[in-house]
């Protein structure tokens, strides 16, 4: 049986006590954490920009690593997932920059012979990526 690879991403605009950030986490067979990242973003980053950046950092990781295909990617922002999958148009000029980078990364990933499937899921299924977007990394040795 082949291993199943699934990743989750999230972004946070920050609060009065936390800087904006984004994060992603990759699982093997839904329980083993095999990679994760959290990134602090500039003050003034919006929620949607942070979500896009979480997706882009994840795609950059997939681009450089050798995961079996397909990698399933999930996010809890319907707007970002639906813009990425083409269900919604990107109208905001600032988000168009992220979408263009996404399209380019997707193209490069396809040229490597890899595929990713992107889908939306509810916030309660995204708690690990949410924690990373707030700068709280999970223990990579413990299951989800």
Say whether pLDDT at 2 is over 60.
yes
Stated pTM of the model: 0.90
Domains of the chain: residue spans and CATH: 5-133 (3.30.420.10)
pLDDT band, residue 144 (cuts 50/70/90): very low
- Tens of pLDDT, residues 78-131: 999 999 999 999 999 999 999 999 999 999 999 999 989 999 998 888 889 998
Q: How far apart are CA 13 and CA 132, in angstroms?
A: 13
Query: Other C-beta atoms within 10 Å of 93: how many?
Result: 7
Mean pLDDT of 54-83: 94
């Amino acid at each position: 049986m082949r291993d199943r690879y699934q990743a989750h991403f999230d972004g946070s605009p920050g609060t009065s006590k936390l800087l904006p950030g984004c994060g992603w986490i990759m699982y093997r067979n839904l329980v083993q954490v095999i990679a994760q990242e959290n990134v602090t973003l500039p003050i003034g980053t919006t929620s949607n920009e942070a979500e896009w950046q979480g997706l882009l950092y994840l795609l950059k990781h997939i681009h450089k690593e050798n995961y079996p295909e397909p990698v399933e990617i999930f996010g809890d922002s319907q707007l970002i997932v639906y813009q990425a999958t083409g269900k919604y148009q990107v109208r905001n000029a600032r988000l168009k920059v992220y979408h263009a980078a996404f399209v380019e990364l997707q193209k490069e990933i396809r040229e490597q012979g890899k595929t990713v499937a992107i889908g939306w899921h509810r916030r309660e299924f995204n708690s690990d990526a949410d924690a990373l977007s707030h700068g709280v990394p999970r223990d990579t040795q413990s299951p989800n």
